[in-house]
Amino acid sequence: MSVYDAAFVNTQLSKRTSIFGLRLWVLIGILVGALIVFSLFLLSLCFISRRNRHRRRNRKPLTPLVSKEIQEIIPNPQPNELHLDIAKSAAAAAAEQHRRVVAAVAFSSGESKGGGGGGVGGGGGGSACETTSSFGSGSISVGPEVSHLGWGKWFTLREMEDATGGMCEENVIGEGGYGIVYRGVLSDGTNVAVKNLLNNKGQAEREFRVEVEAIGRVRHKNLVRLLGYCVEGAYRMLVYEYVDNGNLDQWLHGEVDSVSPLTWDIRMNIVLGTAKGLAYLHEGLEPKVVHRDVKSSNILLDRQWNPKVSDFGLAKLLCSDHSYVTTRVMGTFGYVAPEYACTGMLTEKSDVYSFGILIMEIITGRSPVDYSKPQGEVNLIEWLKTMVGNRKSEEVIDPKLPEKPSSKALKRALLVALKCVDPDATKRPKIGHVIHMLEADDLLFHDERRTVGESSRSHRDYHHHEQKDSSRDRKPAGGEITDQSEDDNSGKNLAHPTRLR
C-alpha cells in the first residue's frame, strides 16, 4: 500500500460516525472486542455443559449416613439377585443400636404370610390373614376409637402429640432400628411408651391395623403389652405399656456400679421369665409367633426385675408383603442363629438360639460380640466354650455379680445355654423344654447330660476351634453316663459335658 493509500484509510477510519459521534476505528474495535467476548462466552458455556454431562455419567448413588451394619437386603424379583438397600433412616442409624443387622432374602418359595414361620397370631385362634376379613371393605374413619376386636385403642395423632408433649426431645426414651420411642402419659394418666415407626414402607392402613390387632391380642406377664396404635397420614405409631426400669442391656453393659444390682437369683428369674414369654409366643398361640430379635435390649425390666419381652411381632408387622412370598432374616448381630442367617430358614429354634446367647450374656455380663476384648474373647460363644473346655467355667461369671452362684446352679445355666446354641437347630430344645430344664430338680436334670455332650460336640465341629479329642467324647461302656458328685470341679464336668450334672 502506498503512502497515499495509507493516508486515505487513516482519514476514512478517523471519520466520525453517526453512532454517538464515535470514530469509525473505535466502532470497529468495539465490535471486534464484543465478538471476542461473545465467542469466549459461548466456549465457556459449551465447556460447562460438557463437564456437567460427564459428572452426571460418573456420579455414584449417594449413600446416606447409615451404619454399615444397618443394612437390609431387599428381595429382588429375580431370586438369585440381591441388592442392598438402606433399611433404617440416618436417624435410626445414629442410635445406639448400631449392632442390628437386618437382612432380607427373597426366595422363590418359603414362608407364606400368616404361616407358621413368622406369622403373628392372636390368642383367639385367628391368624393375621383371617382377621383381614373382619375389617371387611369398610373404609377407615379418622378419629379415636376402641378397636372392635376389643383389645386396644386406635389413637389419633393429636392424642399422641398430647401424650408425648409434641414428641419432644425430653420425652425420647431411646431409638431403635424401628423408630424412636417416646415416653408419654395418656389423658387418663396411664404411662405409655410410644414407638413412632420409621420403617413402615408405605404399609397400607388396613394391613397395618390387621397386623397390630393380631399382635395386640397377645397377653402374657412376660410380654410387653401393646395398648393401642395410631395410624394417621404417613404416621404409624405403637402404644405400649410403660416398663419403668430400663432394659437388660443397660443393666448388664451400661454404666452401673462395680457391683451389679442383678444378683444371680434375679438373673435366673430374668432367664426364666423370658423363656416363659417366648414359650407363650411359640407354644401358646396359633399360629405361633417367632420373635426373631431376642436380645438383651428387648428385655425390659420392671421395678421388681421381672422381665418383659418387647418388640415381638414387630418384625412381622413391618415386613408384610402380599406381592410375593418372602422370607426375611431379621435379627441382631451376634444373636442370629446360623441356619437362619445363612439360609433364611426360620423356625422357633432361631429364637431358642438367640435365647441361648442371652443366657450366656446374663451369666458373663459380656456382649455377644465385643471388639474391645482381646482376640479369642471377641465372640462370646467361642470364648465361653474355650473356657468351659479348659475347665475354667467358674471364671466366666460376671465379675460384677455380688455373689457367686453355686457350682450346680452355674452348671445348670451353662448347660441350658450350650444346648440352646447348638449349631444343629433340630438338636436345640424347644423353649418349653428349656423351662423344664431351668426349673427341674436334679433327677430331671440328669437326663440332659447326654444331650449336652452332643451339643458341645457339634459346636466343636461347627466352629473348628477345638482339636478333635476322641477320648473326651467317649462314653462309658454301655453308653451310660457317669454320675459325678455335686462338689466335683465344675470345669472338669463341663469339659466333659457328658458328665455334667
Residues comprising the binding site for ATP?
A: 195
At closest approach, how far in Å is the CB of 450 from ligand ATP? 36
- Any alpha helices (H) in 332-483, and if so which ranges? 338-343, 348-364, 380-389, 407-420, 431-439, 442-446, 449-463, 470-473
311 contacts ligand ATP (rule: CB under 6 A): yes
242 contacts ligand ATP (rule: CB under 6 A): yes
**Contact between 200 and 235 (Cβ < 8 Å):** no
At how many degrees (to 10) do helices 264-283 and 348-364 cross?
A: 170
The C-alpha cell at 415 is: 448347660
Alpha carbon distance 472, 325 (integer Å): 46
The C-alpha cell at 432 is: 418349653
At closest approach, how far in Å is the CB of 176 from ligand ATP? 2
Q: Of the listed pieces 35-43, 227-235, 239-247, 452-460, which binds ligand ATP according to CB under 6 A?
A: 239-247
298 contacts ligand ATP (rule: CB under 6 A): yes
The label of the residue with cell 450366656 reads 360
Work out which of 177, 368, 405, 497 binds ligand ATP, going by CB under 6 A: 177
Phi, psi of 193 (to 5 degrees): -115, 125
291 contacts ligand ATP (rule: CB under 6 A): no
The site for ligand ATP, by CB under 6 A, has a size of 23
Q: Which residue out of 244, 293, 311, 442 is catalytically annotated?
A: 293
At closest approach, how far in Å is the CB of 248 from ligand ATP? 9
70 contacts ligand ATP (rule: CB under 6 A): no
Q: Of the listed pieces 115-123, 297-305, 458-466, 481-489, which binds ligand ATP according to CB under 6 A?
A: 297-305
Spatial CB neighbours of 124, under 8 Å, sequence gap ≥ 6: 217
196 contacts ligand ATP (rule: CB under 6 A): no
Work out which of 151, 154, 155, 178 binds ligand ATP, going by CB under 6 A: 178
Residue nearer to ligand ATP on the CB measure, 159 or 311: 311
Work out which of 72, 159, 211, 293 binds ligand ATP, going by CB under 6 A: 293
**Contact between 37 and 64 (Cβ < 8 Å):** no
240 contacts ligand ATP (rule: CB under 6 A): yes
243 contacts ligand ATP (rule: CB under 6 A): yes
At closest approach, how far in Å is the CB of 69 from ligand ATP? 11
Residue nearer to ligand ATP on the CB measure, 97 or 498: 97
Alpha carbon distance 404, 393 (integer Å): 12
Binding residues: 195
Encode 282-347 in three state secondary structure: HHCCCCCCCCCCCCHHHEEECCCCCEEECCCCHHHHCCCCCCCCCEEEEEECCCCCHHHHHHCCCC
The C-alpha cell at 354 is: 438367640
205-224 footprint of ligand ATP as x/- string (CB under 6 A): -------------------x
Alpha carbon distance 282, 284 (integer Å): 6
Q: Of the listed pieces 49-57, 171-179, 212-220, 261-269, which binds ligand ATP according to CB under 6 A?
A: 171-179
At closest approach, how far in Å is the CB of 211 from ligand ATP? 17
256 contacts ligand ATP (rule: CB under 6 A): no
Q: Which residues, 137 to 166, sit near ligand ATP by CB under 6 A?
A: none
Residue nearer to ligand ATP on the CB measure, 350 or 490: 350
331 contacts ligand ATP (rule: CB under 6 A): no
Alpha carbon distance 254, 409 (integer Å): 25
Spatial CB neighbours of 80, under 8 Å, sequence gap ≥ 6: none
300 contacts ligand ATP (rule: CB under 6 A): yes
181 contacts ligand ATP (rule: CB under 6 A): yes
Q: What DSSP state is assigned to residue 390?
A: T
328 contacts ligand ATP (rule: CB under 6 A): no
- CA 25-29-33 angle, to 5 degrees, is 175
Q: Of the listed pieces 37-45, 117-125, 234-242, 342-350, which binds ligand ATP according to CB under 6 A?
A: 234-242
**Contact between 370 and 378 (Cβ < 8 Å):** yes
Work out which of 100, 411, 412, 449 binds ligand ATP, going by CB under 6 A: 100
* AA letter at 213: E
293 as an active site residue: the answer is yes
Tell how strand 72-75 and strand 307-309 pair up: unpaired
Annotated catalytic residues are 293
Residues that bind ligand ATP (CB under 6 A): 97, 100, 173-178, 181, 193, 195, 224, 240-243, 247, 293, 297-298, 300, 310-311
